[in-house]
Amino acid sequence: MPTTSSRPAIFYGWFIVATTFCIALVTVGGRNAFGVFVVPMSEEFSWNRSTISLAAAIGFLVNGLSQPWLGRLCDRFGGRQVILVSLALFGGTTVLCALTFHLVFFLVIFGLLMSIAWSGASLTTTNALLSRWFQRQRATVLSLSTAGASAGGLLLVPFAMYVLQRTDWRLTWVALGALIFVVALPLAFLFLRNDPTDMGLRPDGDQPAADGSQTHPAHGTPGPLETDVWPLALRSLPFWQLTGAYFVCGFTTAILTTHFIPYAIDRGFPPSTAATALGVMNGLNIVGVIVMGALADRWRRKDLLAVVYVARGAAYALFLLAPGTWSLWGFAIVTGFSYWATAPLTTSLTADVYGLKTLGTLSGITFLVHQVGAATSIQFAGLMRDITGSYTIPFAVAGLLLLPAALAAFSIRERQYSGRFRDHNGR
């Protein structure tokens, strides 16, 4: 009789990919819907754009400052526990935003508590967890998870605008918070696991060697910078090349979550059209981020990262220079293929160069710098809007910064430092 294998038909890691996709969908999607609230909350409380931008900027900054600490907790205790607690806090604080009656209240709830919770359930922590489950297909898997953030923008930004136009902004906050408790939290509780070894499995679903030894996977040879002491990574050039480029990534994406819809409205586009364009941008990125992830498991990640930054720069030029509706939809389409693609490329390249033992901490530090860029762009754009009456200057600055970001990514010596290439170059 033929023998049967006890190997599961579906590797459990794919259930974790599906779960992190859904977590990103409702958390990032809900957070990206902030632009929907800018006009109605400003009108109700007589806030100018600088004031409401301050709330968003503080939120991004707090999110970044808390990320290394939560990443460190993930490295020490496991991502599952951190993600569960963070999702519960994220859902609760999203609902509490509906009770806003004063700027200080909104700053504490949205800018402080929700932003800390977002750190614990962010792509940084979920991608660090996923990196333990996959090695050969790491970039592909991280891209699939990150695509959840794009799907969230596609679905939840128009959804939030729909609810807002039929009810009010308070009930819209409640609806977004309810999605956390109904979708993300139950899935995380049921399916997330910290490490394949906890279930007697190996990364990628590989079978143990016949003699029971732990052999290296195809691209698992340690690189020269791999470390279990995270401060050592801060002394190496690739870390700062990645981090410097990621600062620009934060600058050029966060400005969109807060100011894209108001900017489009200022230029005469209806609010529903602006929200739809932002949704299309996120929807197209589902394709872009998955394609980039698949390519990154075959080609050099740093080259693809540079291509993403160049494409985003071209989109900003199109937004500022093209006439009429061409600028709005051209920007949405071109940016759509690059909007979130930097996240899986940056995380997977960090894992390749520095290993997994400190990935949560290092990704947290990189994301901190990303969020500093995010907070800077949000506040800068709000101030310039109040001073000049236009968003043209901050959007132009964002586009120009993408050139040095592309150069920083392209100049990383990936073949020398990445463990993926150690077997090929013989060192």
Q: What is the pLDDT of residues 94-105, one digit of tens each?
A: 999 999 999 999
Largest CA distance in the chain: 81
- Asked if the model's pLDDT at residue 216 lies above 50, the reply is no
311-357: pLDDT as tens digits: 999 999 988 888 778 888 989 888 888 877 888 888 888 888 888 77
Residue 328 lies in a domain: yes
Q: Which residue has the higher pLDDT, 369 or 283?
A: 369
Question: For residues 56 and 33, what is the distance between their CA atoms, to the nearest angstrom?
Answer: 12
- The CA distance from 167 to 195, in Å, is 44
pLDDT value for 425: 46
Checking if the pLDDT of 26 tops 60, the result is yes
Which of the given ranges, 28-42, 151-165, 386-400, has the highest pLDDT on average? Answer: 386-400
pLDDT at res. 394: 94
In a domain, 170, yes or no: yes
| Cα distances (angstroms) measured from residue 28 to each of 32, 298, 308, 359 | 6, 28, 20, 21
Q: What is the pLDDT of residue 218?
A: 41
Torsion angles phi and psi, residue 270, rounded to 5 = -60, 150
> Tokens representing 350?
């960090």
Tell the residue number behind the tokens 């949405």, with chain if given.
Answer: 332
Rounded mean pLDDT of 401-410?
A: 94
Of 1-10, 19-28, 275-284, 371-380, minimum mean pLDDT range = 1-10
CA–chain centroid gap for 306, Å, is 17
Top pLDDT among 5 and 271 is at 271
Q: What is the pTM of this model?
A: 0.73
> Which residue is associated with the tokens 């299309």?
280
205: in domain = no
Rounded Cα distance between 381 and 397, Å, is: 10
Q: Give the number of domains in the chain.
A: 1
pLDDT range class, residue 219, cuts 50, 70, 90: very low
pLDDT class of 8 with cuts at 50, 70, 90: low
What confidence score (pLDDT) does residue 384 get? Answer: 92
Angle formed at CA 279 by CA 273 and CA 285, multiple of 5 degrees: 140
User: Who wins on pLDDT, 373 or 361?
Assistant: 373
Sign of CA dihedral 46, 48, 49, 50: negative
Q: With pLDDT > 90 as the criterion, what percentage of the chain qualifies? A: 33
Those residues with Cβ within 8 angstroms of residue 319's Cβ, 6 or more apart along the chain or in another chain = 327, 328, 330, 331, 395, 399
CA separation for the pair 299, 90 (Å, rounded) = 37
Measure the CA–CA gap between 213 and 87, rounded to whole angstroms. Answer: 38
- The answer to whether the CB of 241 falls within 8 A of the CB of 350 is no
- For residue 6, the model assigns a pLDDT of 54
E-state strands within 259-333:
none
Residue 220 resides in a domain:
no
Q: Are 361 and 349 in contact (CB under 8 A)?
A: no
Using pLDDT thresholds of 50, 70 and 90, give the confidence band for residue 421: low
What pLDDT does residue 215 have? 46
DSSP string, 3-27: ----S-SS-THHHHHHHHHHHHHHH
Per DSSP, the three-state class of 375 is helix
Identify the top-confidence range among 4-8, 172-176, 270-274, 348-352. 172-176
Structural tokens at position 40? 């109605």
Within-domain flag for 1:
no
More confident residue, 36 or 209: 36
pLDDT digits (tens, 9 = 90+) for 29-73: 888 788 889 889 989 999 887 888 888 888 888 988 888 888 888
**What pLDDT, on a 0 to 100 scale, did the predictor assign at position 393?**
94
Task: Let me know if residue 343 belongs to a domain.
Answer: yes
- 210-224, 244-258, 285-299, 388-402, range with the lowest pLDDT: 210-224
Domain membership of residue 257 as a residue range: 13-196+226-415
Q: Is the pLDDT of residue 406 over 90?
A: yes
Q: Tell me the helices (H) and strands (E) count for the chain, helix number first.
A: 20, 0
- Which CATH number do you get for residue 279? 1.20.1250.20
* Arithmetic mean of pLDDT, 17-22: 94
Per-residue pLDDT, 427: 43
pLDDT, residue 222, reads 67
pLDDT band at 295 (very low <50, low <70, confident <90, very high): confident
- Do 340 and 209 meet the contact criterion of CB atoms below 8 Å apart? no
Look over the chain and give the mean of its residue pLDDT values, rounded to a whole number: 85
Mean pLDDT over residues 366-379, rounded?
A: 88
Q: Is residue 211 scored above 80 in pLDDT?
A: no
Tell me, yes or no, whether 88 lies in a domain.
yes
Q: Do 31 and 149 contact (CB within 8 A), yes or no?
A: no
| Residue 213, in any domain of the structure | no
The pLDDT, as a whole number, for residue 325 is 83
pLDDT, position 150: 79
